[in-house]
Copies of this chain bind each other. A is one copy, B any other.
Amino acid sequence: MNDAMRANLLGKLQHVAIVAPDLTAASDLYRNVFGANVSAPLPLPEHGVTTVFVELPNTKIELLHPLGKHSPIAKFLEKNPAGGIHHLCYEVADIEQAIQQLSNHGVRILGDGKPKIGAHGKPVVFLHPKDTAATLIELEQV
């Protein structure tokens, strides 16, 4: 394999997403117990989630709760009623290049394999956890 095929894709850890069965309780934990800066809940109906952002000095935590009938995190919460860490999001400079490099190595992209506009208004893809050490990984182009 030549170097061009093995560019370092990984930028910053953009966020860690945690699914919470009780978004108020999870927000209170980070705001009132840990004392962190925590946003108000932001409903994102087109993504099927309500999200709360917890600011850390170097990255952020996103607390997620299902919104609407077809939430992509509903199944996770059924399987994990107490909630838990749902995915990691890494920044990439060029999502098409990332998809190409990953595909060259047999890493599958979820869905139709094409970037969608994610919760932050930027192109994102999710990688198949079976190909990524059992970790659901989102890549976001920045």
Q: Which residues does A use to contact B, with CB under 8 Å?
A: 1, 6-13, 16, 18, 20, 25-26, 29-30, 32-37, 56-59, 61, 63, 80, 82-85, 88, 90, 101-102, 105, 107, 129-135
Contact = CB atoms under 8 A, between A and B. Distances in A.
B59 A32 contact: no
Given A20-B133, A83-B133, A88-B85, A102 B33 contact: yes
A57 B9 contact: no
Given A10-B35, A84-B133, 14 more contacts: A8-B35, A9-B36, A12-B57, A12-B59, A13-B16, A13-B61, A16-B16, A18-B133, A20-B133, A35-B101, A80-B134, A82-B134, A83-B133, A84-B134
A107 B10 contact: no
A58 B12 contact: yes
Majority SS at the chain A contact face: loop
16 contacts: A9-B36, A10-B30, A12-B57, A12-B59, A13-B13, A13-B61, A16-B88, A29-B107, A33-B102, A33-B105, A33-B107, A58-B58, A63-B133, A82-B129, A83-B135, A85-B88
Given A35-B6, A88-B85, A132 B29 contact: yes
